[in-house]
Each structure stands twice: as C-alpha cells, then as structure tokens.
Structure 1
C-alpha cells in the first residue's frame, strides 16, 4: 500500500517529534503493509518557513538514511498539507515544488474545521489553472461538508479529488467524522485513503485496518484503487485510474443553491 498523507518527518510540525518517533511510525506502517508514504507537513496560512526546501530536504535525507541503517524498507516521498488561504496562488507560484506531491501535479489542501471560504470554487479553479489538481484532505472533518456531503460531490464534479482519513473510518475523530467518511465512500466521492498519521499513539499509522473495512464493504477493486492504484498514479503525476461518478440525491441537488450561501457567509 501507499500512504499519501503522513506527518512522519521529524520535528517539522505537529507530527513526529524526533527521528526516533519517525522510525517507530515507519515500523508500524511497514508492519501494516505500507511500502511507500508521502511526507506532507502542514503549511498554515501566514507560515512559510516550513517550505524552506533546505530544511525539508535535510529532514527527508536524515530519515531515509536512518531507515536504511535500521533495515526498514519504506520509500519516502515529499509533499505538503496546505491550509486554504486567500494567498494560495501566490504561494503556489513561489513554492510550487514544495507544495505539490512528489514535484508533480497533485496538491493536498486542508479546510478549516468549522466553515468553508466564500470564494472556494474560484480558488479551486485558479489552482487548476496553475496545472495543479487539488486533493481535499479529510473533508469529513469539516463541519459543513460532514453535514452536507452533496457539497463535496459538487466540488468533485469540477475536477477536485478527495482523501479520507483511515482514522475517520475507524471512529478515531468521533461519530460525525466517521459517518461522514462512510457516506462519502457510499457516494463514490473518495479517491484516496490515507492515515494522516502524526505519531505512534493517538494518531498512529492505521491504513491497514481501514483498508480491510473498505474491502469488506466495497470490494477488492475499490480498496486497491484507494490505497494502491490512485496513490501510485498521483505520485507519478498521472491521471487517476479510479474516478467514479459521484452520487448526489435529487432532493439535495435541488436545495443546493439555497443552502450553500448561508454556509459560506460564516
């Protein structure tokens, strides 16, 4: 399996505290059947220091050497988890290589937990105009999308993709995120399943457990696409092989234009 969303690089954000914890996370991932991960440290609005390529590359090389010395066979690719902000296009133009996944054409974006930005559709359009495909990280943890999954389906209809956290499917973040994550899967709105692991205790690598659950409910093809085929294509900057048409209930379609403005005013 390939885990595209992790915070495994040591000492960069709220993920692995040090190299020792990074190695422990790597061991857990490998034991669960993961053979490659993307290190996606946070980029929050107003903080650009983490994008210093010298710092990120140094941490990357340190971890790769430690993995080799420890006999842990895990490939580490680079990316970022980018907080949605008004200056996102400016950041892309200045730091594109550090923002996108493996230097390619996919980028993980993160919403605030309680609301959506008023001009999010235009922002997505602008990002795609830059030749980058946005991947919404853990939308089930956004209060608006969790309550109204038809909005996520609408975003996906414009060419945006979705990554659900394995921990959400397992109930780690509570019942609201859990139910939303499973609803997104049922609505054919999920393209990647990833762990978003931050350590070895509260948010450990757990992709294997969630993949088993997805396989039981939706079959081998879907599970393989979410943890192998689509992640590999994204790392190689190729079109995703698994992009099902999203499902939107007719009654939700009709009410969509009425509901959205009230959310975006928050």
Structure 2
C-alpha cells in the first residue's frame, strides 16, 4: 500500500521529534503492508511548529537524513517528499508569494484550508490552483462541515478534477464522530480518490491503514480498495492522470406537505368509516 499523507520528518512540524520515533511510526506502516510513504510536512500553516519548514535546504536535508535511516532498517520502503500546504483566504489573493511544494515534484499538490470554508469558497480556491497548473488533492476532505448532507457539493469538486483524500482513522476510528459520518458517506457515494493515514504520532494520530483497507475491501470490493490505496497514489507519484469514475448522488426527495395532509385525511376517513 501507499501512504501519501504522512507527517514523518522529525522535528519539523507536529509529527515525531526524533528519528527513533519516526522509525517506530514506519514500523507500524511496514507491518501493515505499506511500502511507499510520502512525507508531507505542514507548510504555510498558521500554527507554530518546532522547525522552519519554509527553508528548502532544511527540509531537503532533514528528509534525506530520514530516508537514509529508514531505508537502512527497511530496504523495501520507498520514501518521497511532498507537503501539506495550508492556504488561508488571504493567501488566495497572493498565491505568487506562497511557498508551494508539490508531491514528489509532480503537478499534484496536497492542500488544506480553514475548516470554516464554505463549499463555494473551496471550489473557487481549488479552481485558482488548477488555473496555475496544479492538480489539487483536497486533504482530509471529511473534516469540512460544509459537506454535511451536501455530498453533491463534493461531487462538483471532483467534476472540476479535484482529487479527494480521506483519512483512514476517520473511516474506522471511534473519535470525531461527525468527521467519520462524512467519511463513510463519501465512500458510500464513491467520492473518495485516495485514502491515507495523516499519521502524526503513535497515539492520537497513528499511521494506521490496514483497518481502513479491510473496511473498504469488504464493503466495496478489493478493486475499489486497490484504487484508493495503491493505484491512484502510484499514478499521482508518477505525475499521471488519475481517472475519476463518474458518480451520481442519489438523495431521497422529501414528501411535500400537501401530499402529507392528503394522505392523513385519507387515513382518517378510512378509520372513521371502519368505526361507524
């Protein structure tokens, strides 16, 4: 399997603080069948982290050190460098000044926004990135409240060519119930393109993929699981074009109030007739 959303570089953001801790995280991934990881440190994020990921030489140096240690312990594990880019509303007015790192030097970019963005704001922001030549991947799309009971808005993003990434823990985890409900609904409608761990540590944000893979394979088939955990991430790393099968959102239409009252009157009339 591939894990393309992974905060693994030590002492950079809110991921591990030592190489030993990072190696312990990789062991979890390796034991679960992951053989390719994309390290995606936070960039341009408003929160204050340990390191300064904005300095290209620093992140390159830290990544190469990490990759050397990991491949000594796990020769089969492939590591690539990417980033999770945070964009605020202000950033969208000055994108030329934002330091953007793509995924493995491809045209793909893993991007997140403030949780209070509306569907329209997300659509406009992601379209700006497309116009600049990027292929946006919306990170952990299930965390955005605007998609609650509005899966059709997520469908419209995919129709623009936006890739939808979902976090494994929000599919099978017990916490963050609203996020989980949205994640399950996204899978139900076939709106997910990539599942990744968003791993940060060994406790609250573990790099677990196996349970989510088993869930998807059991409920939607091994072909769908292979598409989300292997084929699409592999295509992304090669800068290929990821196919997004057409989807249709089936929603039940509410009963019109007039029909409700008509049905109620008919039932009342029948009951009255039975007792007279």
Instruction: Indicate whether the TM-score tops 0.5.
Output: yes
Quick check: 2:44–2:99 contact (8 Å CA) kept in 1? no
1:4 match = 4
User: 1:1-266 counterparts in 2 under 5 A?
Assistant: 1-45=1-45, 49-71=52-74, 73-85=76-88, 86-88=90-92, 90-91=94-95, 95-96=99-100, 99-116=101-118, 119-241=121-243, 243-249=244-250
Greater Rg by CA: 2
1:8-27 Cα deviation digits (max 9, x unpaired): 11111111121111100111
Q: Per-residue deviation at 1:73?
A: 3.2
Change (3 A) 1:3 1:128: same
Distance in 2 (CA, whole Å) between partners of 1:107 and 1:88 is 15
Partner of 1:21: helix, strand, or coil? helix
Quick check: 1:43–1:81 contact (8 Å CA) kept in 2? yes
Q: Which segments of 5 or more consecutive residues in structure 2 lack a partner in the other structure?
A: 254-276
Q: Per-residue deviation at 1:72?
A: 5.2
Distance in 1 (CA, whole Å) between partners of 2:174 and 2:59 is 29
Change (3 A) 1:83 1:184: same
Quick check: 1:6–1:197 contact (8 Å CA) kept in 2? yes
Change (3 A) 1:39 1:89: farther
Distance in 2 (CA, whole Å) between partners of 1:193 and 1:206 is 11
- Counting matched residue pairs gives 249
Distance in 2 (CA, whole Å) between partners of 1:57 and 1:19 is 15
Q: Which segments of 5 or more consecutive residues in structure 1 lack a partner in the other structure?
A: 253-266
RMSD: 2.2
1:34-76 Cα deviation digits (max 9, x unpaired): 0011111112456894131111111111111111333453211
Quick check: 1:233–1:240 contact (8 Å CA) kept in 2? yes
TM-score (norm 1): 0.86
